[in-house]
């Protein structure tokens, strides 16, 4: 029978094999490269398993040194993750309320028109109603569900529905709209009311594309443009105030993130019209 370990074993060192100490590595290891001695004063033979174990330890230490992030890179990534928040929570709440109502109402009108023209698959309606009631939710009028449910109904009947706008027949455009609508619905479902300026402006841009393909009427599209104009004006006022504050400071110290000081923009807009304090902009109904 073959002997695997020990003297004259396949995986061990033979008795007459000369011991060759390993070369020094650039990366220090926890194990000493000097061979240990046995009880009789001679050098202890290093087995194949011990050699492999030492190699694995060297590889593990090198990998740990290479993959450990540097402090400077962590601080740089933390700085890049900060976004300017120029619109106050009350104004963001108003924007979210107005735009979500626009989306839900426009989607309901679109779904009702498709239903009246016989373009709905009946099983998709039944499945939606069963899922809705199984969760203990109250019944709704027509198709006034939440955005996620309305999106699912449109996606399930995509092949039979007819959309609006100059690109109504563009399948790529429609697929992009459905993807953006799902992202918008997920974002608006988490109401933190402290979205960054770029996030909020991107949200309003996507909502406009969705409303166009769903066939929103002209008054709603005009109201959305007014919301976008008011949001841009708030951001401009807050950033101007921040720049003036920085310029007026003798030491040149930063004022910090303006954040909730966007109330100043709201008060300024309330005199000439805006989302807060009345003015030229009015609600959806």
The residue ranking higher by pLDDT, 113 or 36, is: 113
Tokens representing residue 269 in the block: 């807009």
What is the model's pLDDT at position 184? 95
Is the pLDDT at 191 greater than 80? The verdict is yes
C-alpha span between 124 and 100 (Å, rounded)? 24
8 Å CB contact between 238 and 262: yes
What is the model's pLDDT at position 248? 81
**Per-residue pLDDT tens for 206-235?**
999 999 999 999 999 999 999 999 999 999
The residue ranking higher by pLDDT, 264 or 151, is: 151
Query: What are the residues facing 43 on neighbouring strands?
Result: 37
8 Å CB contact between 111 and 143: yes
What is the model's pLDDT at position 276? 41
Q: Count of alpha carbons within 13 Å of 237, Cβ hemisphere only?
A: 20
The residue among 197, 226, 225, 195 whose CA lies nearest residue 212 is: 225
What is the model's pLDDT at position 70? 55
Radius of gyration of the chain (CA): 34
**Per-residue pLDDT tens for 253-280?**
444 344 444 444 444 444 444 454 333 3
8 Å CB contact between 242 and 255: yes
What is the model's pLDDT at position 145? 96
Q: Count of alpha carbons within 13 Å of 146, Cβ hemisphere only?
A: 10
**Per-residue pLDDT tens for 87-97?**
999 999 999 99
Instruction: Compute the mean pLDDT over every residue in the chain, rounded to the nearest whole number.
Output: 77
The residue among 86, 285, 56, 269 whose CA lies nearest residue 194 is: 86
The residue among 83, 96, 90 whose CA lies nearest residue 269 is: 90
Q: Provide the sign of the torsion angle of the four alpha carbons 195, 197, 203, 204, taken in this order.
A: positive
Among 56-70, 139-153, 248-262, which range has the highest average pLDDT?
Answer: 139-153
User: In the predicted model, what is the mean pLDDT of residues 6-29?
Assistant: 54
What is the model's pLDDT at position 84? 86
Start-end of H helices in the chain: 48-67, 71-80, 89-116, 122-134, 147-156, 171-189, 197-214, 218-248, 263-272
Task: Name residues whose C-beta falls within 8 Å of residue 179's C-beta, 6 or more positions apart in sequence.
Answer: none
% of the chain surpassing 70 pLDDT: 65
Query: What are the residues facing 37 on neighbouring strands?
Result: 43
Tally Cβ neighbours within 10 Å of residue 12.
18
Structure confidence at residue 76 as a pLDDT band (50, 70, 90): low
What is the model's pLDDT at position 43? 53
8 Å CB contact between 46 and 19: yes
pTM of the model: 0.61
User: In the predicted model, what is the mean pLDDT of residues 123-143?
Assistant: 94
Is the pLDDT at 32 greater than 50? The verdict is no
Is the pLDDT at 35 greater than 90? The verdict is no
């Amino acid at each position: 029978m073959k002997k695997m370990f020990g003297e004259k074993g396949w995986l061990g060192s033979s008795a007459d094999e000369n011991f060759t100490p390993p070369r020094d590595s650039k990366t220090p290891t926890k194990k000493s490269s000097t061979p240990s001695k046995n009880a009789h004063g001679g050098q202890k033979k290093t087995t194949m398993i011990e050699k492999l174990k030492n190699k694995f330890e060297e590889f593990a230490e090198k990998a740990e040194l290479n993959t450990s992030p540097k402090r400077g890179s962590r601080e740089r990534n933390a700085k890049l993750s900060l976004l300017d928040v120029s619109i106050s929570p009350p104004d963001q709440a108003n924007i979210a309320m107005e735009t979500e109502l626009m989306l839900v109402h426009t989607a309901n009108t679109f779904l009702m028109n498709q239903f009246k023209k016989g373009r709905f698959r009946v099983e998709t309606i039944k499945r939606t109603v069963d899922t809705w009631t199984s969760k203990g939710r109250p019944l709704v009028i027509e198709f006034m569900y939440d955005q996620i449910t309305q999106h699912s109904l449109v996606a399930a009947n995509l092949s039979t529905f007819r959309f609006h706008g100059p690109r109504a027949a563009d399948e790529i455009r429609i697929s992009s709209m459905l993807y953006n609508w799902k992202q918008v619905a997920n974002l608006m479902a988490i109401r933190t009311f402290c979205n960054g300026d770029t996030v909020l402006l991107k949200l309003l841009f996507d909502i406009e594309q969705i409303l166009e393909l769903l066939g929103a009427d002209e008054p709603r599209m005009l109201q959305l443009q007014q919301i976008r104009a008011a949001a841009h004006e708030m951001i401009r006022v807050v950033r101007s105030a921040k720049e003036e504050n920085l310029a007026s400071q003798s030491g040149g110290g930063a004022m910090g993130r303006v954040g909730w000081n966007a109330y100043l923009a709201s008060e300024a807009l309330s005199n000439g019209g805006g989302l807060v304090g009345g003015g030229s902009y009015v609600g959806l109904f």
